[in-house]
Amino acid sequence: MEMLGPRVWSSVRQGLNRGLSRNVGGWASGEGRKVDIAGIYPAVTTPFTATAEVDYGKLEENLHKLGNIPFRGFLVQGSNGEFPFLASNERLEVVSCARQAMPKDKLLLAGSGCESTQATVEMTVSMAQVGADAALVVTPSYYRGRMSSAALIHHYTKVADHSPIPVVLYSVPANTGLDLPVDAVVTLSQHPNIVGIKDSGGDVTRIGLMVHKTRRQDFQVLAGSAGFLLASYAVGAVGGVCALANVLGAQVCQLERLCLTGQWEDAQKLQLRLIEPNTAVTRRFGIPGLKKTMEWFGYYGGPCRAPLQELSPAEEEALRLAFTNNGWL
Amino acid sequence: MEMLGPRVWSSVRQGLNRGLSRNVGGWASGEGRKVDIAGIYPAVTTPFTATAEVDYGKLEENLHKLGNIPFRGFLVQGSNGEFPFLASNERLEVVSCARQAMPKDKLLLAGSGCESTQATVEMTVSMAQVGADAALVVTPSYYRGRMSSAALIHHYTKVADHSPIPVVLYSVPANTGLDLPVDAVVTLSQHPNIVGIKDSGGDVTRIGLMVHKTRRQDFQVLAGSAGFLLASYAVGAVGGVCALANVLGAQVCQLERLCLTGQWEDAQKLQLRLIEPNTAVTRRFGIPGLKKTMEWFGYYGGPCRAPLQELSPAEEEALRLAFTNNGWL
Amino acid sequence: MEMLGPRVWSSVRQGLNRGLSRNVGGWASGEGRKVDIAGIYPAVTTPFTATAEVDYGKLEENLHKLGNIPFRGFLVQGSNGEFPFLASNERLEVVSCARQAMPKDKLLLAGSGCESTQATVEMTVSMAQVGADAALVVTPSYYRGRMSSAALIHHYTKVADHSPIPVVLYSVPANTGLDLPVDAVVTLSQHPNIVGIKDSGGDVTRIGLMVHKTRRQDFQVLAGSAGFLLASYAVGAVGGVCALANVLGAQVCQLERLCLTGQWEDAQKLQLRLIEPNTAVTRRFGIPGLKKTMEWFGYYGGPCRAPLQELSPAEEEALRLAFTNNGWL
Amino acid sequence: MEMLGPRVWSSVRQGLNRGLSRNVGGWASGEGRKVDIAGIYPAVTTPFTATAEVDYGKLEENLHKLGNIPFRGFLVQGSNGEFPFLASNERLEVVSCARQAMPKDKLLLAGSGCESTQATVEMTVSMAQVGADAALVVTPSYYRGRMSSAALIHHYTKVADHSPIPVVLYSVPANTGLDLPVDAVVTLSQHPNIVGIKDSGGDVTRIGLMVHKTRRQDFQVLAGSAGFLLASYAVGAVGGVCALANVLGAQVCQLERLCLTGQWEDAQKLQLRLIEPNTAVTRRFGIPGLKKTMEWFGYYGGPCRAPLQELSPAEEEALRLAFTNNGWL
């Protein structure tokens, strides 16, 4: 088992301990330990009815089905959750609904990011009150030209200072046009209420660098997509938050298991078969592609809110090919 | 006067008619004429108190001072209005306050864009109810990878269909990472309730192309910044919505006048002196730079909402130089 | 005539003086005046035979036909001259051939840029020896990550120090991925052997800023494309080097004349009809599009060197539409 | 040993066979097997004298020192070899010199890319004649707007058809602004004389996808930088061509060995210590940084050709920190 470093070991141990009682805000207790977020999370979609209302019943159904897969927890209102399209009350109701529908022993990450610091603080506090275990906070980005490291450090520090639950940083340049700078990540990793980062940029050199430069902190790095999950584990990441886990959740968890137990040959084989499907439900066809695929795999997909459009027939066929060509359909 | 084309003429005539009664929704009346939006508009900032509350009193004061300048109207909640940091009720209150504070004969453009189509429709309707004359609708951008021409056409068509006031398209790639494609602009120009575009990208070839391809429509192009205002007039734009007009409003209006009356030599001299100050209060130092400059020119600037940060002393000095070097301070 | 500024006037005067004797290196003479490069230049293509040899006979034929148009001169081996595909001896032979074929009173600009400073110096000297009147020097770009202002200033200073002919800076970010920074342009404008810049980026704010900040130098700005020629004149540029002038040369010169004589209304009409054709033979379909179009207009186009490929039939049709839709075919 | 896949095994076997006789063009023999390029290669710099002449003596010295490290071979005239600054005769002389100076059993990869297809063919043939074992061919990029998959497939096919030695594709977007599209790579992998790709972009998802989609071809993927070497091995790459191997060559080869023998824990530790030094001698400080570092490690660095500039003292200090902070100096 010599291929497992300290971080990896700790998450294997964690794996044996999936029944841990949720210890919300435990980081602040006397023991001085942050919550361990290692593991796999699907980036849950928000189901809508034909008239574009949030369909909480379908959300419950999806979560029940996903509940049988050995995830560490669930992320609601990541980029795949269409959070920019939800009103504040809907954002809280989705968190509340997820908390009720999902197994008690799993972590509920909730995307609480807004453009202003104050709104993000308020949303984070409210999401904690309705059951979120940790808050995933996307970089504000509309004024990206002024989002220096100093501005972002200030933003995240304020949010973490006021949040009753641990904060996970979230860098997703495809949506925000902004990478959270590594130097800012390193500074923020020292905050007692910031426990990690979801990095969706896919630059594994950067992921390795963040692991390396935060190695003396209680700080964990999660891959933001299944396309580079194996590579991220190889450089010290401890899990992933993945759109693909909505449809191939068992396989993503199997990939985690192969990495954690050092079965790199099989891990590589599996990883390679997941790249095309992953790209198809993320960068290439986005949430409409993901929701369409969910229907093929027995989940409720349904429409997106406008302005997101349905796939064209040609796009749908290309989407399907990405799965059939790799033996998943 | 041979240098004035039909579009330019119409706006000179318009200039003689600054007292026109606001004819909200007039486009839908039997006459089939859209509102004329030609002219200069400051992109008004939103004043905040030291505790980051909207300071409506200071907004009124600023508007009163700006009211003496021969603007066509005012834009509230453009990018310089920090609209992504305002709650829904604040957004409406700012419109309402501006409506009360500004001269009756000026147009009130209100930025009503949200990420979802439905929210944008609702915000647009509400802003009309509290006094906006036209709605400026920014491109949704968080899912820019899926914001095809088709998706954007669908979005703007829905908004314009439901809006009781005319809609102005708004393309601002520095903030959104997205250019509203020219083919989408051309299609949308045919909608009876879409009257123009504010283009802040600064690509004058694109501005000329939009003018050219919409020449048979009742559709007007406004420059989104004072840095390329003269060039935009030269290719057929009919006005501008400018951050710089908050501080050098009379000068921006003078530039308009020089362009409309064919005094191109003086126009060029003036334009060249405005480029550096304009860049300083937009791309280079953003809203913090604009608000700081407002204080130098007798307006209320005040703080921005976080995560926007104050300028450093070095930045403030560079900002001042951009004005002093060009004879404005 | 009040719309003409000092720069514009000087070029109108220049226009009356098209018969000026070429005064190679005259900048270094006692009079202390740099050569005046104001005017329009086609960015001449390099004709190839079916077997991809340089076809000097066709080059002569093209230049003879172009010689009847009131250009200020010709540019060979700009980006449209496929210079990166030419061997050193071919580069010199093309200059020599052009010098013989073109009218004696026109300026021959020759693109002499190479990646290394030393090679650029040598090519510039050699091109001067075979008849170039001025050297157009593109920014080196392969190591763009290290091409700071300091590095570029050093490069151009060395070239200008050693060149027996005046040097024109050349910024073309679509090909180089690099904008020559304005601060570097301003510094370089003070060099006695640097007379101007061809800017192909199309950012008219930047063009205006360069005009403004070099206003106390003998330094001239040329638009690098016909798409923003009018706008460039409006902010103080004094000419253009244009791919489109290979096929609509008379029209581009007519646009110059309209700008110089203050007929801005007609200038605008003409400019707007040139944008789509210009984009088609530059950014959209590149040199293969330009060469195909040349055949429609009675010039020799011929093949490009590989790896540039011929247009597909669909591309060719779209290319043609860009001309027919604007009344040019 | 279950973590080794077929590709990895083959390269371990290859490792036992480092003494293989060079079989130039062996791919064309009856056996139908392409050359195996698995392993580590330093991207050798080109030494210059104080007067910017190629210093062949120093090149030999550097290669002799590097010859003791268990590299698979050497790359001359990759991006770190300043090939765009070398004349044709220098390019060949550098290859010839390297062939003489390096051990006979190592592979000599030579960068033979030029902008035109014909020049690339000629350079490739000439380099083969003076001793190159394989040609590394960078994507042409000046006309990147027209470098479609079809154009690039045509280019590489022509080169490979005419080359007497195997061809390795080379994608380096930081220098070229262009990614060789995956679909083009897949098509080209079927050519009998194209044996692999050096990918310097650092997108491990893309690297995995290329491995996966060429898995039925005799085609190998090499990481183009040491920053993502472990991650590349993890998804099926078989080696790397690395600037960093000029200074930490033994360590890069140790990382290879750890990956090939499944010691992933130690591999991770080593990889993480190499990221900062690697970034410092590549993206951050470029060749001037690499050559400066070579001097610290007992090699000849020397100056770069202009326009590349020496590091400033502040840059040099930051460069040194990247090595001292990770225990390498």
pLDDT in tens, A37-54: 999 999 999 999 999 999
- Among residues D22, D239, D234, which one has the least CA distance to residue D128? D22
Which candidate in A198, A233, A291, A300 is catalytic? A198
B216-231 as b/e: b if 16+ CB within 10 A: ebbbbbbbbbbbbbbb
Asked if D307 and C142 come within 8 Å (Cβ–Cβ), the reply is no
Asked if D231 and A236 come within 8 Å (Cβ–Cβ), the reply is no
Environment class of C88 (CB within 10 Å of its CB; exposed 0-12, middle 13-18, buried 19+): middle
Q: Does C311 touch chain D (CB under 8 A)?
A: no
Residue A228 region, left (φ>0) first, then alpha (ψ -120 to 50), else beta? Answer: alpha
Chain A residues close to B174, C-beta within 8 Å = 145
Chain B residues close to A143, C-beta within 8 Å = 79, 84, 175, 286-287, 307-308
Asked if C212 and B263 come within 8 Å (Cβ–Cβ), the reply is no
Q: Report the first-to-last Cα separation within chain D, whole angstroms.
A: 35
Name the band, by pLDDT with cuts 50, 70 and 90, for residue B72.
very high
Asked if B271 and C3 come within 8 Å (Cβ–Cβ), the reply is no
Q: Choosing among D183, D264, D326, which should be mutated to test the A contact, i.e. which has the most A CBs within 10 A?
A: D264
ipTM of the complex: 0.92
Among C209, C211, C228, the residue with its CB nearest the CB of B276 is C209
SS (H, E, C) B162-206: HCCCCEEEEECHHHHCCCCCHHHHHHHCCCCCEEEEEECCCEHHH
Chain C residues close to B266, C-beta within 8 Å = 2
Name the band, by pLDDT with cuts 50, 70 and 90, for residue A34.
confident
Q: Choosing among C121, C309, C310, C319, which should be mutated to test the D contact, i.e. which has the most D CBs within 10 A?
A: C309
Q: Does D328 touch chain A (CB under 8 A)?
A: no
Which candidate in C58, C106, C198, C292 is catalytic? C198
Q: How far is D12 from chain A (nearest CA, A)?
A: 14
List the structure tokens of A79.
């980029």
List the structure tokens of A55.
């369909």
Q: Choosing among D49, D116, D121, D304, which should be mutated to test the C contact, i.e. which has the most C CBs within 10 A?
A: D116
pLDDT at position C33 = 63
List the structure tokens of C293.
């179009």
Q: How far is A266 from chain D (nearest CA, A)?
A: 7
Mean pLDDT of the residues in chain B? 92
- Average pLDDT on B240-264 reads 98
Regions of chain D where pLDDT drops below 70 = 1-33
Q: What whole-number distance in Å separates Cα of residue C113 and Cα of residue A138?
A: 45
Residue A17 pLDDT > 60: no
Chain A residues close to D227, C-beta within 8 Å = 205, 208
pLDDT in tens, A264-289: 999 999 999 999 999 999 999 999 99
Residues 80 to 119 of D: which have CB under 8 A from any C CB? 84-85, 87, 115-119
Element (H, E) at D41: strand D39-44
Q: How far is D254 from chain C (nearest CA, A)?
A: 30
**Count of A-B CB contacts under 8 Å:** 103
* Chains in touch with D (≥3 Cβ pairs < 8 A): A, C
Search chain A and give the residue with CA nearest D215: A272
Asked if C208 and B271 come within 8 Å (Cβ–Cβ), the reply is yes
Environment class of D328 (CB within 10 Å of its CB; exposed 0-12, middle 13-18, buried 19+): middle
CA distances from residue C50 to A253, B256, B307 in whole angstroms, order as listed = 59, 54, 61
Amino acid (one-letter) located at C194: I
Question: Please, what is the Cα angle at B208 between B205 and B213, to 5 degrees?
Answer: 120
Search chain D and give the residue with CA nearest A234: D231
Which candidate in B170, B233, B299, B300 is catalytic? B170
Name the band, by pLDDT with cuts 50, 70 and 90, for residue A22.
very low
Asked if C276 and B203 come within 8 Å (Cβ–Cβ), the reply is no
Q: What whole-number distance in Å separates Cα of residue D38 and Cα of residue B160?
A: 60
SS (H, E, C) chain B: CCCCCHHHHHHHHHHCCCCCCCCCCHHHCCCCCCCCCCEEEEEECCCECCCCCECHHHHHHHHHHHCCCCCCEEEECCHHHCHHHCCHHHHHHHHHHHHHHCCCCCEEEEECCCCCHHHHHHHHHHHHHCCCCEEEEECCCCCHHHCCHHHHHHHHHHHHHHCCCCEEEEECHHHHCCCCCHHHHHHHCCCCCEEEEEECCCEHHHHHHHHHHCCCCCCEEEECCHHHHHHHHHCCCCEEEEHHHHCCHHHHHHHHHHHHCCCHHHHHHHHHHHHHHHHHHHHHCHHHHHHHHHHHCCCCCCCCCCCCCCCCHHHHHHHHHHHHCCCCC
**Count of A-D CB contacts under 8 Å:** 123
Asked if C309 and D174 come within 8 Å (Cβ–Cβ), the reply is no
Name the band, by pLDDT with cuts 50, 70 and 90, for residue A6.
very low
pLDDT at position C22 = 37
Residues 197 to 216 of D: which have CB under 8 A from any A CB? 202-205, 208-209, 211-212, 215
Q: What whole-number distance in Å separates Cα of residue D237 and Cα of residue B219?
A: 55
Q: Choosing among A308, A310, A315, A319, which should be mutated to test the B contact, i.e. which has the most B CBs within 10 A?
A: A308
- Average pLDDT on B19-46 reads 67
Asked if A158 and B116 come within 8 Å (Cβ–Cβ), the reply is no
Which candidate in C41, C56, C156, C170 is catalytic? C170
pLDDT at position C34 = 81
Residues 163 to 202 of C: which have CB under 8 A from any B CB? 202
Q: What whole-number distance in Å separates Cα of residue D46 and Cα of residue D301?
A: 9
The set of long-range contacts for B15-22, using a CB threshold of 8 Å and a minimum separation of 24, is B15/B39, B15/B260, B18/B70, B18/B72, B18/B105, B19/B105, B20/B105, B21/B105, B22/B104, B22/B105, B22/B107, B22/B133
Reply yes or no on whether A269 is catalytic: no
pLDDT at position A28 = 41
* Chains in touch with C (≥3 Cβ pairs < 8 A): B, D
Name the band, by pLDDT with cuts 50, 70 and 90, for residue B32.
low
Asked if D235 and A268 come within 8 Å (Cβ–Cβ), the reply is yes
Among C117, C144, C308, the residue with its CB nearest the CB of D143 is C308
pLDDT at position D33 = 63
Search chain A and give the residue with CA nearest B154: A307
Question: Please, what is the Cα angle at D132 between D126 and D135, to 5 degrees?
Answer: 80
Reply yes or no on whether A41 is catalytic: no
Do residues C85 and C307 touch, judged by C-beta distance below 8 A? no
Asked if A146 and B288 come within 8 Å (Cβ–Cβ), the reply is yes
Tell me if C241 is assigned to a ligand binding site: yes
Q: Does D79 touch chain C (CB under 8 A)?
A: yes
Regions of chain C where pLDDT drops below 50 = 1-31
